[in-house]
Amino acid sequence: MAVILESLATLSVLVFVVTSMLAMGLNLTVGQILDPLRDLALVGKALLANFVLVPLLAYAILLVIPLSDAQSIGLILLATAAGAPFLPKLVEMAKADVAFGVGLMVLLMVVTVAYVPIVLPFLLPGVQVDPVEIASSLVVLMLLPLAVGLFVKARYADTAASWQPIINQVSSTALVFLVVLMLVLNFQTLISVIGTGALLAFAVLIVGSLGVGWLLGGPSEGTRPVVGLGTAQRNVSAALVVGAANFEDPNVVVMLVVGATLMGLLIVVAGELGKRTERAEPAPMGEEATYDD
């Protein structure tokens, strides 16, 4: 049964990532994605938050909370990997600027591919990271479906409009399955780390990263949740690629799974932000919200 559930979880990840990227492409244009990134000050703050302040936060956590070597490695891996495929869905749930969310995700993902191989050997001596291996999985599962959706949207707008709601629904369903399966499969793992300080360390990293991103996200209600959620939701996929390829200790991967499971709580945060937005800015009569499912 466990093998079947693990296979379903893997399939749910693939379906969610591919369909969410495809749905985003079908709903946006290249211009809509790139335009928000023209705000160089905001982009610079987002890069500062993700690639300087979050790793520094992880280092500070390790100075205060005693963790095992495997637990420390897992924390550092997550702190250095940004650009998670879940970000656009979180932004959509928060009813923030989805186009900026997609653009920021792509930017963070590309920087991660170049950043991780350079920084990790300094933070974790002896680690060798293959940027091609990281990039290939991210390109195939994320950038390619996004590009296909953007192409269909640009050339066949009517087709994109009819397909987008269906694919978006498939993505949302896959996400629900994934969250449930992650909790079922990793329940014992979560129990096993209680009392080790690992849960507290990851909780501090997630909450602290959310706060850092929120503070640097600018005054706009559309961008602040994007940078906040984009900083808190780390790129677990990239971290798993590095962890599985470089460390024989299975506890490293276990810690990444624990971190990924705790980050699932950002779904609740995003939902609450979306409700607050609805209360603050009710849609006019007869006008539908742009990014509702």
Tokens at residue 7, please? Answer: 């296979």
pLDDT tens, residue order, the chain (293 aa): 777 877 887 787 788 778 888 887 898 888 888 887 888 999 999 999 999 999 999 999 999 998 888 888 889 999 999 988 778 889 989 988 888 888 898 889 888 888 888 888 888 777 766 777 767 777 777 788 888 999 999 999 999 999 989 998 888 888 778 777 777 776 776 677 777 788 889 999 999 999 999 999 877 777 899 999 999 999 887 787 777 777 777 777 778 878 888 888 898 899 998 888 777 665 444 444 444 44
Whether residue 164 lies inside any domain: the answer is yes
Counting the structural domains of the chain, the total is: 1
Whether residue 185 lies inside any domain: the answer is yes
Whether residue 133 lies inside any domain: the answer is yes
Whether residue 282 lies inside any domain: the answer is no
Please report the pLDDT score of residue 280 as a whole number.
Answer: 66
Please report the pLDDT score of residue 290 as a whole number.
Answer: 45
**What residue numbers bound the domain in which 47 lies?**
2-277
Whether residue 288 lies inside any domain: the answer is no
Residue type, 220: S
Residue 217 DSSP symbol: S
Please report the pLDDT score of residue 291 as a whole number.
Answer: 42
Token pair 């005693």 is found at 66
SS3 218: coil
What residues have CB less than 8 Å from 164, skipping those under 6 apart? 23, 26, 27
Whether residue 157 lies inside any domain: the answer is yes
CATH number of the domain encompassing residue 215? 1.20.1530.20
Whether residue 170 lies inside any domain: the answer is yes
Please report the pLDDT score of residue 281 as a whole number.
Answer: 62
* DSSP secondary structure, 54-68, as one string: HHHHHHHHHHHS---
Whether residue 291 lies inside any domain: the answer is no
